[in-house]
Structure formats: C-alpha cells, structure tokens
C-alpha cells in the first residue's frame, strides 16, 4: 500500500513538472513558456536585465509573443527597433475604406480614419454686420460640422484652440454684401492674445453687390488658403474679416441658382 502511494505521488510530481515546464534555448533560466536567448548572455538564474533581453525571443503561456522582452503585454510585443514587410506593394489599399495605422504613446499599434480625424469644418452661424471701415471683426462659426480631438472651438468667442502642435492647412471663405465696386475685402487669421496676422488674404470687389432682399442675398465671394505652424498644444487663433467699408458678411446666399452656405472655414492637419 505504501509503495502504491509513493508511485502515485511520483506520477503527480512528474506530471506537474511536465505541465508547468518552461523551455529555454541558450538559457538555463527561461522566463516564459518558451524562451530563446539569442546571444546567450542571460544570467544562469533570475531575470535578465533590459539590455540582456534585447536579443531574446519569448512566448508566454497565454500566447503573447515578445521580441526583445520577456514580459510581452500584447499578442506581439517588440521592445524596440523597426518593422519591415517585404513585397507589401502588391497589396494596394482601398481609399475611403482602409484605415491608417498609428502608434499610441505606449507604442501600441491602432487604426484610425485619419482623414476624418484631422479635419475641422464650420459654417458661419449667422450674418455678421461690420459697422465701420477697416474694423477687424471675429467671424463666429456655428458648432463644427466636422472636428476631432485636434481642435476645440468656442462658438461664443470664435476662438479655435489646437490640442496638438504641427502644421495645419487653413481655407477661409466669406461672402461680403452691401459693398461697392472696388472695395477691399480682407480675410485673416490672428493669434490669441491678439498680435500680427498669421495669414491674410486681400481681394477687391469687382462690382457693387445687389441689395439684400427677402429672396435675393448675393455677395462678393473671396477665399484664402494658407498654412499655419502651431508651436504648442493650447495655441489659439481666431478668424477675422476687415473690409475697408461697412458691409455684411453672409452666412448663406440666396439667388436664382439656389440657396446655401457661403461663409465657412476648413482646417486640416498635414
């Protein structure tokens, strides 16, 4: 009876050892279920240093694979270095459907729709009257039609805040009504607190604009495109109009060819 109990204990011990065994290649102290020490520079016991792990390959009991690390946290965890895929040119992406792959602050790869993510677009909330010549008026846009975490817009003050530094392409368009031929129309981008223009576009009205009526609202259209460099997160700007005579900036135009939005701004991170 005693011999039978000892035999059972030996079998249990052998099974446990086999079940929990860790396989090491070039190392006598494997840290995961499967562990290769490429340079054979790990210690004979205990965990290798970060430097010693740079040439290691490991697989955990949950199927996490580590390259250069013995403690992978993702299905594939590369501690440092570049990835290369040969002959990827044969696999062409589909515009409008495929997503862009980016790395977050911890190096974890994720996908985003970068076109939508980088775009800000807003339309003038209502007509704005400019009561005196050459006065600089902040254009007040309604809630953005398209935006992303890159931007924060205050519809009350007209201030756009950038949440990330970088280069941004800005297109500003406006329609000026109640203005005479030859009048100077000016659209601008100014910093907050106020200082010199970051960008400005000037245009001269080709003809006197029609009088505004209940069914006719047509102005002199101009637009301006430029690139601005945002130095830091939290940087703020405002969009302005400054014609050299009193006028009205139209939010929409109405006429024989149809009605619709006419004064708007588009910003895109590039």
Per-residue pLDDT 10s for the chain (270 aa) are 555 555 555 454 444 444 458 999 999 999 999 999 999 999 999 999 999 999 999 999 999 999 999 999 999 999 998 888 888 777 777 766 787 888 888 899 888 766 566 899 999 999 999 988 778 999 999 999 999 999 999 999 999 999 999 999 999 999 999 999 999 999 999 999 999 999 999 999 999 998 888 888 999 999 999 999 999 999 999 999 999 999 999 999 998 888 999 999 999 998
128 and 224 assigned to the same domain: yes
Distance from C-alpha of 269 to C-alpha of 263, rounded to nearest angstrom: 21
124 and 218 assigned to the same domain: yes
Distance from C-alpha of 270 to C-alpha of 169, rounded to nearest angstrom: 7
142 and 220 assigned to the same domain: yes
Which value, in Å, is the radius of gyration of the alpha carbons in the chain?
32
72: containing domain:
21-79
To which H or E segment does residue 152 belong? strand 151-154
238 and 122 assigned to the same domain: yes
170 and 50 assigned to the same domain: no
Are 141 and 267 contacting, i.e. CB atoms less than 8 angstroms apart? no
188 and 234 assigned to the same domain: yes
Which of 172, 181, 179 has its CA nearest to residue 200?
Answer: 172
Structural domain total, the chain: 2
217 and 163 assigned to the same domain: yes
């Amino acid at each position: 009876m005693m011999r039978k109990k000892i035999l059972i204990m030996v079998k249990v011990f052998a099974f446990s050892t086999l079940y929990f065994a860790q396989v090491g290649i070039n190392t006598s102290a494997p840290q995961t279920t499967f562990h290769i020490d490429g340079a054979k520079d790990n210690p004979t016991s205990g965990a290798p240093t970060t430097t010693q792990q740079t040439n290691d390959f490991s697989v955990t009991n949950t199927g996490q694979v580590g390259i250069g690390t013995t403690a992978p946290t993702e299905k594939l965890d590369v501690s440092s270095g570049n990835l290369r895929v040969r002959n990827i040119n044969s696999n062409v992406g589909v515009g409008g459907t495929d997503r862009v792959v980016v790395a977050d602050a911890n190096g974890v790869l994720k996908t985003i729709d970068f076109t939508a993510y980088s775009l800000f677009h807003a339309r003038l909330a209502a007509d704005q009257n400019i009561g005196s010549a050459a006065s600089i008026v902040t254009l007040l846009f309604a809630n953005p039609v398209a935006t992303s975490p890159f931007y924060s817009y205050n519809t009350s003050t007209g201030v756009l805040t950038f949440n990330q530094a970088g280069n941004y392409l800005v297109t500003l368009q406006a329609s000026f009504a109640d203005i005479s031929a030859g009048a100077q129309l000016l659209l601008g981008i100014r910093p907050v607190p106020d200082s010199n223009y970051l960008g400005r576009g000037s245009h001269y009205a080709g003809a006197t604009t029609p009088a505004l009526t209940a069914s006719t609202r047509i102005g002199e259209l101009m637009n301006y495109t430029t690139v601005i460099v945002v130095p830091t997160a939290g940087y703020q700007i405002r969009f302005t109009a400054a014609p050299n005579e009193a006028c009205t900036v139209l939010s929409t135009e109405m006429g024989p060819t149809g009605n619709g939005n006419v004064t708007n701004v588009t910003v895109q991170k590039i």
